[in-house]
Amino acid sequence: MTSKPEMGRALAAMCSLNEMDRAMRAEAIERFVADAAAVSVIQEGVLLQFDRTGANARAVLDFIHVERECCPRYEYRVGSGKDTLDLVITAKGTDVQPLQTFYLGLARTPE
C-alpha cells in the first residue's frame, strides 16, 4: 500500500502545477481513478481500465486533455477491449516510478 506522503512526493515529481493547483488536480484525479474498474502496472507506466460506456469515453478524453497540459512528458493512449476502455499512461526513465506509485496509490483495493 502506498502512503499519502509517498503519493504526494510522486505527484510533485510528475506535475508542473504549483502546489495549490496540484492539490486540487490530485482530488480530480482521485475521483477519476475511483471510476476505473482496474488499475495495474505495465512496463513504463500504468493501465487504467474502465467499463466501456459513452460517459467513460468522454471522461477519459477530458482527463487526457487536461493532463497533457500539466504533465506533457507522459504519453497517453486509449484503446478498447470487448467490454473495456483502456487508458495507458507511460513515461520514460526516472519518470516511470512516480507515475506508477501515484496511480497505484489511488487504485481501489479489492474488497
SS3 35: coil
pLDDT of residue 107: 85
Q: Are 2 and 104 in contact (CB under 8 A)?
A: yes
CA angle 54, 59, 62 (to 5 degrees): 125
pLDDT of residue 109: 60
pLDDT of residue 111: 42
pLDDT of residue 43: 94
- Strand 45-51 to 75-80 pairing: unpaired
What pTM does this model have?
Answer: 0.87
Domain ranges of the chain: 4-106
CA 52, 58, 66, 78 torsion-angle sign: positive
pLDDT of residue 110: 52
Sites in the chain below the pLDDT cut of 50: 111
pLDDT of residue 57: 96
